[in-house]
Amino acid sequence: MIQSINQKVCLAGKNEIAVYGLSLFIKYVDKENICVVCNATDHGFDTWQPSLLKAAIKNDIAVKTLDECYGIDGLIFLSLEFDKIILPDKFVNVILYNVHFSNLPAYKGMYTSALPLLNGEKVGGVTLHYMDSGIDTGDIIEQLLFPIDESDTARNLYEKYLVNSKKLLKENISKLLNGEVVSYPQSTFGSTYFSKKEIDYKNLDINLRLTAEQIKNQIRAFTFPEYQVPKVLGYYVNSAEVSATKSSSKPGALIQATDVAITIATVDYDVILYRDMDYELLGAAAKNDESKALACVENGADVNRRNGRGWTPLIVASFNGSVDVLNLLLSEGVDVDKVNYKGTTPLMYAMTHYENTKQRLVFDALIDFGANLDLRDYHGFSIMDYAKERAVRGLFE
């Protein structure tokens, strides 16, 4: 255990990498000398990513604001997916470190899980570096490089960033805390920077007037199911394969559509885009499209998979009153009590549907299937508590 009465450490950030970094700090530093600064989106419960705030509270670690950290003398500050710009001049006698998800000096800034794929990169990396007044411009302490496979999506690449960042931190944490760091300036050769304006995720549009390889790279770059998957010609797709057939139709033209894939023409070769059955099942559940839902299930859709919000197909069907799809899901052995990330049950969503429509078919189907009335959500409330609080009459009679 590294102990120093003057040594204060702060970890700022979010997600799995920040929770892992905190576990390393706890291993080496007395808890009273550790604090965390959490991202604004961290509300203290786990989603598809673990919560740093939750981990800090569980381990009795102080939670501070960035402004409070500015005045801590002799602070070691580590940024791991932190969402605010750090202003070094505001700190008092601080050492600032960051782990950036790229092989700096390339891909400074934003969207490092997408842009290397868009550009067809074959090698990725993670970089431990000092923070200075620039954006990801500080001197490099150490890097780990890894191959980017041809089939990697943004989600796969992000997972590689996590695995290698953990390794990088574990190998260097003692040096960071002991001040035994050796660094070197970033080269100007190969240096690139990308801002938030580079990709508009609210208006993703796959450009089909490109080569098959470029289209494939777009699909890879924008496939991150917790956030989105691309939509092409009305179909959700999550992977692509370049055909050996040269295109004879206009670029972007639909050549063929099957239950599992679509084939489109490009400026050189036809490209096969494989449909995302999980996303299509969610859409079918929202619209009560039983035949489409059945096709999705028959072609491998996961009936229990959560989306980025934590919603399962059963939750979507319950909220929308999609009784036909709901009954199909129940017949497929769906987990009737699988909750969202806040602990809200399908039965609670079915109650909301009843409140809005006074239709109880979905609610009754869940009850008949054995839905648990006693489950409590993140706030500690059961469905009976909500029914009483919201004066829902008739549902339990």
The CATH number assigned to the domain holding 310 equals 1.25.40.20
Give the chain's mean pLDDT: 95
Domain-ending residue, one of 250, 275, 300: 275
Average pLDDT in the 63-84 region? 95
Do 237 and 329 fall into the same domain?
no
Residue-level pLDDT at 194: 97
The domain boundary, picked from 247, 275, 303, lies at 275
Determine the pLDDT at residue 396: 78
The 10s digit of each residue's pLDDT in 307-321 is 999 999 999 999 999
Residue 4 confidence class, pLDDT cut points 50, 70, 90: very low
What is the value of pTM for the model shown?
0.93
Alpha-carbon torsion angle 13, 15, 19, 22, nearest 10: -10
DSSP state at residue 247 = P
Q: Is the pLDDT of residue 337 over 70?
A: yes
Q: What is the pLDDT of residue 394?
A: 77
pLDDT tens-digit map of 233-243: 999 999 999 99
Do 360 and 326 contact (CB within 8 A), yes or no?
A: no
Boundaries of domain holding 146: 8-194
Find where tokens 């007037």 sit: 209
Assign 397 a pLDDT band (cuts: 50, 70, 90).
low
3-state SS, residue 95:
strand
How large is the average pLDDT for residues 195-202?
Answer: 95
Q: What is the CATH number of the domain that holds 156?
A: 3.40.50.12230
Query: So what's the pLDDT on residue 149?
Result: 97
Determine the distance from the C-alpha atom of residue 76 to the mean position of all C-alpha atoms in its chain, rounded to a whole number.
Answer: 28
| Average confidence (pLDDT) over 164-189 | 96
83 with 228, same domain: the answer is no
97, containing H or E segment:
strand 94-100
pLDDT digits (tens, 9 = 90+) for 347-379: 999 999 999 999 999 999 999 999 999 999 999
Q: Is the pLDDT of residue 5 over 60?
A: no
Q: Last residue of a domain, which of 194, 225, 240?
A: 194
250 and 352 together in one domain: no
pLDDT band at 1 (very low <50, low <70, confident <90, very high): very low
Same domain, 229 and 252: yes
Do the beta carbons of residue 266 and residue 247 sit within 8 Å?
yes
Q: What is the mean pLDDT of residues 198-218?
A: 97
Q: Are residues 271 and 293 in the same domain?
A: no
DSSP 145-192: EEEPPTT--HHHHHHHHHHHHHHHHHHHHHHHHHT----BPPPSTT--
Residue 390 scores a pLDDT above 70: yes
Whether residue 395 lies inside any domain: the answer is no
Q: Specify the number of domains making up the chain.
A: 3
Q: How confident is the model at residue 11 (pLDDT cuts 50, 70, 90)?
A: very high
Contact 247, 268 (CB under 8 A): yes
Do residues 129 and 76 both lie within one domain? Answer: yes
Is there a domain that residue 281 lies in? Answer: no
Q: How many CB atoms lie within 10 A of CB 309?
A: 13
- Residue 144: pLDDT band (50, 70, 90) is very high
Asked whether residue 282 is assigned to any structural domain, the reply reads no
> Does residue 199 form part of some domain?
no
Q: 381 and 343 in one domain?
A: yes
47: tokens are 């989603």
Q: Based on the domain organization, do 22 and 61 belong to the same domain?
A: yes
**Pairwise CA distance, residues 163 & 179, whole Å:** 25
Same domain, 225 and 358: no
pLDDT for residue 60? 97
Averaged pLDDT for residues 178-191: 95
Asked if residue 284 is part of any domain, the answer here is no
In this structure, the answer to whether residues 15 and 89 fall within a common structural domain is yes
Residue 56 inside a domain? The answer is yes
Flag whether 20 is in a domain. yes
Q: Report how far residue 285's alpha carbon sits from residue 297's, in angstroms, rounded to the nearest whole number.
A: 12
**Residue 116, pLDDT score:** 98
pLDDT at 130 over 70: yes
Q: What mean pLDDT comes out for the span 154-171?
A: 98
**Same-domain check for residues 20 and 131:** yes
Confidence at residue 392, expressed as pLDDT on a 0 to 100 scale: 83
Residue 2 included in any domain: no
* Average of per-residue pLDDT across 95-101: 97
Q: Are residues 53 and 150 in the same domain?
A: yes
